[in-house]
Structure 1
Amino acid sequence: MPGTVQGAGGSLRRVPKQERSRERIDEILKVSMELIGQKGIDAVTMKEIAALSGGPIASVYQYFPNKSAIIAMLHERYVEEVRGIIASHVPIINNSDDALRATDTLFDIYYNRMREQPSTQDLLNAIQADKALADRDTAETRFQAEIFFEITKRFVNEKLWEAYSRTLFIMFHMASATLRLALMVPAEEALKIVAQFKSIVRAQSTYYFTGSFPENLAASA
């Protein structure tokens, strides 16, 4: 459609050509994220978003046709941030040890970000409640896993590439679920859950890199 910007799971009604318009969109998204964190997506209304973002409701509908479009653009920005995190760590992987450290580091970054910005968890929950957006999120998870695969497959026997790629997809998907679980339980238990998940990932990765599981797997479990 002419004059429409396609986003990850949604679209803008109008292309923001002026700085003022871009600032208006940023404010709408900022307020929406805050409200989602405070009340949950179901309780948030377009009217409330408009009021708290400093404009009439028409100024929200001017850019976003519905609440799903706002969630979609929030997810798009989240995806951009996550891809930036991956891009900053993947290039420094020069050997299998670097790859093992990268899996730990990336997970820690995700976990700390979610703890510092708990509204992100509510956003991701809202995405999972929308089938179209959930499908896009799954596709993004696959894309991120493929990036990691392309960088690290040289440390894996070529005969195991298909299984390794599939395992990475599962691990990237389960990382998100583990994060959500860790944020729902007491802090002490959360640390144990995070440590256990990282141990599982390290064990699986070590198997593909070396052909055997770590000798200390039982001790770390």
Structure 2
Amino acid sequence: MQESSHGAGRAALRRVPKQERSRERIGEILKVAKELIGQKGIDAVTMKEIAALSGGPIASVYQYFPNKSAIIAMLYELYVEEVRELIAGHVSHIETADDALKATDDLFDMYYERMRQEPSTQDLLNAIQADKTLADLDIAETRAQAEGFYQLTRHFVAEPLRESYAQTLFVMFHMAGATLRLALMVPAEAAQISAQFKSIVRTHATYFLKGHFPQAAV
């Protein structure tokens, strides 16, 4: 089983909440931090500002989070949990190779819509890449997601191609994140970028899942 980001944010907590009131306080801190990140970007957000807008003294933030990196880690963990649920909903009905091909499109569209609706997600993921420990966890999470898709679909792939298929999935899942960030940075070209990436993925997926490359349109 692949290592993933599960528990990374909770492990960063200075104090584990045991009472409902404490859990609500943490939830409010995270909610405000996420909103501020979406408005200003991570670098411009301060612990003092998070405390003020979440309705408490700065000590009440430091009581749970030793620094801003710990808040980012927790936000990332919650993001990962949400994405896992969304992925599960898109892949749970795969029964045929055609279902698997459709799922590659659906997953990309799901990721794109999720990031488009919440601008803070893009800043959060950029911040993750700047933190070596969290970046390693993000790679592990990407690997786990690709492995999960592989396990659901490998029986559609010829035995000699399965190792290559697994490696290709890992690369494609990783590239999906970079492509989405690019599409969001240049919205005027987002549709073309998304269509091009999905075409590349579908070409490779068709080869592995159906044993041939897509037929060129006549």
TM-score after normalising by structure 1: 0.92
- Report the Cα distance in structure 2 between the residues aligned to 1:21 and 1:114, rounded to whole angstroms: 29
The letter of the residue matching 1:141 is T
Q: Calculate the aligned-residue CA RMSD, in Å.
A: 1.5
- Report the Cα distance in structure 2 between the residues aligned to 1:149 and 1:132, rounded to whole angstroms: 26
Alignment partner of 1:12: what SS? coil
Equivalent residue for 1:202?
202
Could you list the runs of 5+ residues in structure 1 that have no partner in the other structure?
Answer: 1-5
- 1:42-53 to structure 2, matched below 5 A, reads 42-53=43-54
String of CA shifts for 1:98-153, please: whole Å, max 9, x gaps: 00011111111111111111111011011111111111001000000000000000
Alignment partner of 1:59: what SS? helix
- Report the Cα distance in structure 1 between the residues aligned to 2:135 and 2:37, rounded to whole angstroms: 17
String of CA shifts for 1:169-198, please: whole Å, max 9, x gaps: 0000000001000001133x1101101111
TM-score after normalising by structure 2: 0.93
8 Å contact from structure 1 (residues 7, 72) kept in 2? no
- 1:1-221 to structure 2, matched below 5 A, reads 7-8=7-8, 10-187=11-188, 189-216=189-216
Name the count of aligned residue pairs: 212
- Report the Cα distance in structure 2 between the residues aligned to 1:34 and 1:129, rounded to whole angstroms: 20
Q: CA deviation at 1:157?
A: 0.7
8 Å contact from structure 1 (residues 46, 60) kept in 2? yes
Alignment partner of 2:59: what SS? helix
- Report the Cα distance in structure 2 between the residues aligned to 1:193 and 1:147, rounded to whole angstroms: 26
Identity, % of aligned pairs? 75
Structure 1 residue runs of 4+, over 4 Å off?
none
- Report the Cα distance in structure 2 between the residues aligned to 1:173 and 1:114, rounded to whole angstroms: 15
Q: CA deviation at 1:41?
A: 1.4
Could you list the runs of 5+ residues in structure 2 that have no partner in the other structure?
Answer: 1-5
String of CA shifts for 1:49-107, please: whole Å, max 9, x gaps: 11111101110011111111100000000000010011112220001000001111111
- Report the Cα distance in structure 2 between the residues aligned to 1:84 and 1:186, rounded to whole angstroms: 27
Greater RCO structure (CA 8 Å; 6+ sep) = 2
- Report the Cα distance in structure 1 between the residues aligned to 2:39 and 2:124, rounded to whole angstroms: 11
- Report the Cα distance in structure 2 between the residues aligned to 1:181 and 1:205, rounded to whole angstroms: 22
